[in-house]
Structure 1
Amino acid sequence: DGVEVVKYIRNISLETPILVLAEKKFEEELISSLQQGADGYLARPFSPLLMVARIKALYRRINLERGKRVNLNIEQVICTKYL
Protein backbone atom coordinates (compact mmCIF):
# COMPACT_ATOMS: atom_id res chain seq x y z
CA ASP A 1 0.00 0.00 0.00
CA GLY A 2 0.97 3.67 -0.15
CA VAL A 3 2.14 3.88 3.46
CA GLU A 4 4.57 1.01 2.91
CA VAL A 5 5.94 2.74 -0.19
CA VAL A 6 6.56 5.90 1.84
CA LYS A 7 8.33 3.88 4.56
CA TYR A 8 10.48 2.14 1.94
CA ILE A 9 11.50 5.41 0.26
CA ARG A 10 12.22 7.08 3.61
CA ASN A 11 14.46 4.18 4.65
CA ILE A 12 16.49 4.67 1.49
CA SER A 13 16.65 8.47 1.51
CA LEU A 14 15.64 11.26 3.84
CA GLU A 15 16.10 13.80 1.05
CA THR A 16 13.79 12.35 -1.60
CA PRO A 17 10.60 14.42 -1.80
CA ILE A 18 7.42 12.36 -1.49
CA LEU A 19 4.03 13.59 -2.64
CA VAL A 20 1.21 11.11 -2.02
CA LEU A 21 -1.72 10.93 -4.45
CA ALA A 22 -4.85 9.29 -3.05
CA GLU A 23 -8.59 9.60 -2.91
CA LYS A 24 -10.01 11.75 -0.14
CA LYS A 25 -11.97 8.78 1.22
CA PHE A 26 -8.63 7.21 2.22
CA GLU A 27 -7.89 9.98 4.72
CA GLU A 28 -6.38 7.58 7.25
CA GLU A 29 -3.84 6.42 4.66
CA LEU A 30 -2.98 10.04 3.84
CA ILE A 31 -2.42 10.81 7.51
CA SER A 32 -0.33 7.67 8.01
CA SER A 33 1.76 8.54 4.95
CA LEU A 34 2.50 11.99 6.35
CA GLN A 35 3.39 10.47 9.72
CA GLN A 36 5.80 8.06 7.99
CA GLY A 37 7.63 10.87 6.19
CA ALA A 38 5.66 12.01 3.14
CA ASP A 39 6.14 15.70 2.43
CA GLY A 40 2.62 16.35 1.20
CA TYR A 41 -0.39 14.90 -0.51
CA LEU A 42 -3.03 15.59 -3.11
CA ALA A 43 -6.50 14.17 -2.69
CA ARG A 44 -8.16 13.00 -5.92
CA PRO A 45 -9.75 14.35 -7.92
CA PHE A 46 -7.38 17.27 -8.51
CA SER A 47 -6.43 19.37 -11.49
CA PRO A 48 -3.13 18.95 -13.33
CA LEU A 49 -2.38 22.62 -12.61
CA LEU A 50 -2.75 22.02 -8.88
CA MET A 51 -0.42 19.03 -9.09
CA VAL A 52 2.24 21.08 -10.90
CA ALA A 53 1.88 23.90 -8.36
CA ARG A 54 2.27 21.47 -5.44
CA ILE A 55 5.37 19.86 -6.98
CA LYS A 56 6.97 23.27 -7.61
CA ALA A 57 6.18 24.38 -4.05
CA LEU A 58 7.63 21.16 -2.65
CA TYR A 59 10.88 21.57 -4.60
CA ARG A 60 11.09 25.25 -3.70
CA ARG A 61 10.82 24.42 0.01
CA ILE A 62 13.30 21.57 -0.21
CA ASN A 63 15.83 23.65 -2.12
CA LEU A 64 15.51 26.53 0.34
CA GLU A 65 16.17 24.07 3.15
CA ARG A 66 19.29 22.92 1.32
CA GLY A 67 20.38 26.51 0.77
CA LYS A 68 20.05 26.27 -2.99
CA ARG A 69 17.82 27.80 -5.62
CA VAL A 70 16.93 25.53 -8.46
CA ASN A 71 14.82 26.61 -11.37
CA LEU A 72 12.26 23.88 -11.66
CA ASN A 73 10.61 23.79 -15.04
CA ILE A 74 7.79 21.34 -15.49
CA GLU A 75 6.82 21.56 -19.13
CA GLN A 76 4.49 18.63 -19.53
CA VAL A 77 2.05 16.84 -17.29
CA ILE A 78 0.61 13.58 -18.48
CA CYS A 79 -2.92 13.13 -17.25
CA THR A 80 -4.54 9.76 -17.08
CA LYS A 81 -7.83 8.59 -15.76
CA TYR A 82 -5.97 7.49 -12.60
CA LEU A 83 -5.01 11.01 -11.49
Structure 2
Amino acid sequence: MLPAPTVRQWNQARLRIKNVIEGPNTDIDRIITAVLETGTLPATLKAEYPLLARNEIAQRVVAAVRAAIPSFGESQAARKPAQGSRPT
Protein backbone atom coordinates (compact mmCIF):
# COMPACT_ATOMS: atom_id res chain seq x y z
CA MET A 1 0.00 0.00 0.00
CA LEU A 2 1.25 3.46 -0.89
CA PRO A 3 1.73 6.10 1.80
CA ALA A 4 -0.85 8.86 1.55
CA PRO A 5 0.51 12.26 0.56
CA THR A 6 0.18 15.07 3.05
CA VAL A 7 -2.17 17.99 2.41
CA ARG A 8 0.86 20.20 1.81
CA GLN A 9 2.23 17.77 -0.79
CA TRP A 10 -1.16 17.51 -2.50
CA ASN A 11 -1.52 21.29 -2.67
CA GLN A 12 2.02 21.58 -3.99
CA ALA A 13 1.21 19.03 -6.70
CA ARG A 14 -1.87 21.07 -7.65
CA LEU A 15 0.18 24.25 -7.94
CA ARG A 16 2.90 22.58 -9.97
CA ILE A 17 0.37 21.08 -12.38
CA LYS A 18 -1.39 24.43 -12.71
CA ASN A 19 1.94 25.87 -13.85
CA VAL A 20 1.67 23.45 -16.79
CA ILE A 21 -2.09 23.36 -17.50
CA GLU A 22 -5.13 25.21 -16.26
CA GLY A 23 -8.16 23.60 -14.70
CA PRO A 24 -10.38 23.41 -11.66
CA ASN A 25 -9.12 21.62 -8.56
CA THR A 26 -11.50 18.70 -9.14
CA ASP A 27 -9.92 17.98 -12.53
CA ILE A 28 -6.40 18.48 -11.21
CA ASP A 29 -7.18 16.13 -8.30
CA ARG A 30 -8.31 13.44 -10.75
CA ILE A 31 -5.04 13.83 -12.62
CA ILE A 32 -2.97 13.60 -9.41
CA THR A 33 -4.89 10.52 -8.27
CA ALA A 34 -4.43 8.81 -11.64
CA VAL A 35 -0.70 9.51 -11.69
CA LEU A 36 -0.29 8.24 -8.12
CA GLU A 37 -2.24 5.06 -8.90
CA THR A 38 -0.78 4.22 -12.30
CA GLY A 39 2.54 6.07 -12.45
CA THR A 40 1.47 7.78 -15.66
CA LEU A 41 -1.48 9.47 -17.30
CA PRO A 42 -4.02 6.86 -18.40
CA ALA A 43 -5.49 6.94 -21.91
CA THR A 44 -8.92 7.76 -20.46
CA LEU A 45 -7.64 11.06 -19.06
CA LYS A 46 -5.73 11.82 -22.24
CA ALA A 47 -8.95 11.31 -24.21
CA GLU A 48 -10.90 13.52 -21.83
CA TYR A 49 -8.22 16.23 -21.75
CA PRO A 50 -6.61 16.31 -25.22
CA LEU A 51 -3.84 18.62 -24.03
CA LEU A 52 -2.56 15.72 -21.90
CA ALA A 53 -2.15 13.61 -25.03
CA ARG A 54 0.83 15.79 -25.96
CA ASN A 55 3.87 13.88 -24.74
CA GLU A 56 5.74 16.96 -23.48
CA ILE A 57 2.74 18.12 -21.43
CA ALA A 58 2.11 14.63 -20.05
CA GLN A 59 5.75 14.30 -18.96
CA ARG A 60 5.66 17.70 -17.25
CA VAL A 61 2.46 16.82 -15.38
CA VAL A 62 3.85 13.50 -14.16
CA ALA A 63 7.11 15.23 -13.18
CA ALA A 64 5.09 17.83 -11.25
CA VAL A 65 3.43 15.09 -9.18
CA ARG A 66 6.76 13.35 -8.58
CA ALA A 67 8.41 16.60 -7.48
CA ALA A 68 5.59 17.49 -5.10
CA ILE A 69 5.14 14.01 -3.66
CA PRO A 70 8.63 12.47 -3.40
CA SER A 71 7.36 9.26 -1.76
CA PHE A 72 5.49 8.60 -5.03
CA GLY A 73 8.69 7.95 -6.94
CA GLU A 74 10.06 5.73 -4.19
CA SER A 75 6.88 3.67 -3.96
CA GLN A 76 6.74 3.26 -7.76
CA ALA A 77 10.32 1.95 -7.76
CA ALA A 78 9.52 -0.44 -4.93
CA ARG A 79 6.61 -1.92 -6.88
CA LYS A 80 8.71 -2.72 -9.96
CA PRO A 81 11.26 -5.53 -9.78
CA ALA A 82 14.79 -4.62 -10.75
CA GLN A 83 15.62 -5.30 -14.37
CA GLY A 84 16.90 -8.82 -14.83
CA SER A 85 15.55 -10.02 -11.49
CA ARG A 86 12.79 -12.55 -11.08
CA PRO A 87 9.85 -12.03 -8.75
CA THR A 88 9.92 -14.26 -5.70
| TM-score normalised by length of structure 2 | 0.32
Greater percentage in helix: 2
Greater percentage in strand: 1
